[in-house]
Amino acid sequence: MWTRKQIKEKAKKAFQLNYWKCVLCGLIFAIIVGGASGAGGAASGGSSTFSSLMYNNQHREETETVEEVEVEGIDENSDPVTVTVVTSDDNGNEIEVNETDVAFGIAIFSIVALTVFAIVLVASAVGIAVDVLLINPVEFGCRNFFRRNLDEPAKLSSLTFAFDKNYKNAVKTAFFKDLFIWLWSLLFVIPGIIKAYEYRLVPYIFAENPDMKYSDILAESSKLMKGNKWKTFVLDLSFIGWELLSLCTCGLLSIFYVDPYKLQTDAALYEALKYGDKKEIATV
């Protein structure tokens, strides 16, 4: 049976023995995770812009009151020349809009809306592709580094592990892990959080079994985390004090201590759940 104290003491010792490489690996991890969030934020921002355009147009149509319609130059022997609509805005100011202006405005709005929508789609597609093909494998590599660092000072070459060992399976495994977490998140978020804890050990299992089927890796993680999700959540909460101190240093403490310490603790948690008190740890 593992305890937070045992896990964190082992993690701290391993981290301190290979301090600078752990810091560098933690920084790389923070950058790729931040990059993924930024890409998602960009897509979300584009979507918000599109929604704002639609709302503003609808709001303008609702708040402008048509007071008078004047039709000029229409008789039996001539074509319509001008159709003028007199409206008023929220402040009571009269606005004259003729048929040509309305058509031109609708055309411009349609072009802008379609352009923004296309940008959102492209940004989302690119973000997903980068996340699946690059960010997830690098994350697996970072996790592998800290897993190896528990037994002996790890080398930075461990970061490319997922690219060197069955890259296709790494992409597939990470993709389905994220997909299932996202699908469960649709059920009022909480189930997604629980699923994330359930699949928390997936990168470490892959690191030791790169040829294992993705479904078996997910099942193994679920098995190891069964009955341990709440304890792991409490383990995460134990870092709140460090996170608050990091805010006081503008994030410097996170870079040089908290982030690599947490990553090393996650690796120590996997080792404890997988091997318990065994001395001999199988590594790839």
In-domain check, residue 195: yes
Q: What is the pLDDT of residue 181?
A: 94
Average pLDDT in the 21-35 region? Answer: 88
**Torsion of the alpha carbons at 178, 218, 275 and 13, rounded to the nearest 10:** -10
Q: How far apart are CA 3 and CA 1, in angstroms?
A: 7
Q: What is the pLDDT of residue 283?
A: 41
Angle between helices 259-275 and 214-225 (to 10 degrees): 90
Q: How far apart are CA 12 and CA 275, in angstroms?
A: 19
- Quick check: 97 pLDDT over 60? no
Q: Which domain, by its residues, includes 96?
A: 58-112
Q: Which amino acid is at 271?
A: E
Q: What is the pLDDT of residue 103?
A: 72
* Residue 128 shares a structural domain with residue 229: yes
Q: What is the pLDDT of residue 112?
A: 86
Q: How far apart are CA 181 and CA 191, in angstroms?
A: 8
What does the pLDDT look like over 263-283, one tens digit per residue? 999 999 999 999 986 644 444
- Quick check: 44 pLDDT over 50? no
Top pLDDT among 211 and 1 is at 211
Q: Which amino acid is at 128?
A: I
Average pLDDT in the 46-68 region? Answer: 49
Residues 6 or more apart whose Cβ sits within 8 Å of residue 154: 18, 21, 145, 146, 148
* Residue 102 shares a structural domain with residue 50: no
Q: Whose CA is closest to 271, among 148, 136, 166?
A: 148
Mean pLDDT score of the chain, rounded to an integer?
Answer: 81
Q: pTM of this prediction?
A: 0.73
Locate all alpha helices (DSSP H) within the chain, ordered by sequence: 4-17, 19-63, 99-130, 136-149, 161-164, 167-185, 190-198, 202-208, 214-225, 229-237, 240-248, 252-253, 259-275
In-domain check, residue 284: no
Q: How does DSSP classify residue 156? A: G
Total domain count, the chain:
2
Q: Which residue has the tokens 């690191």?
A: 207
- Quick check: 284 pLDDT over 80? no
Question: What's the residue count for the chain?
Answer: 284
* Residue 71 shares a structural domain with residue 209: no
Write 53-62 long-range contacts (CB < 8 A, 24+).
53/109, 53/112, 53/113, 53/116, 54/113, 57/109
- Kindly state the helix (H) or strand (E) to which residue 279 belongs, with its residue range: none
In-domain check, residue 159: yes
* Residue 222 shares a structural domain with residue 253: yes
* Residue 176 shares a structural domain with residue 103: no
Average pLDDT in the 79-104 region? Answer: 57
Of 50-59, 122-131, 156-165, give the lowest mean pLDDT range: 50-59
* Residue 92 shares a structural domain with residue 161: no
Q: Provide the β-strand partners of residue 87.
A: 66, 95
- Quick check: 2 pLDDT over 60? yes
Q: Provide the β-strand partners of residue 88.
A: 65, 94
In-domain check, residue 124: yes
Q: How far apart are CA 137 and CA 170, in angstroms?
A: 6
* Residue 31 shares a structural domain with residue 76: no
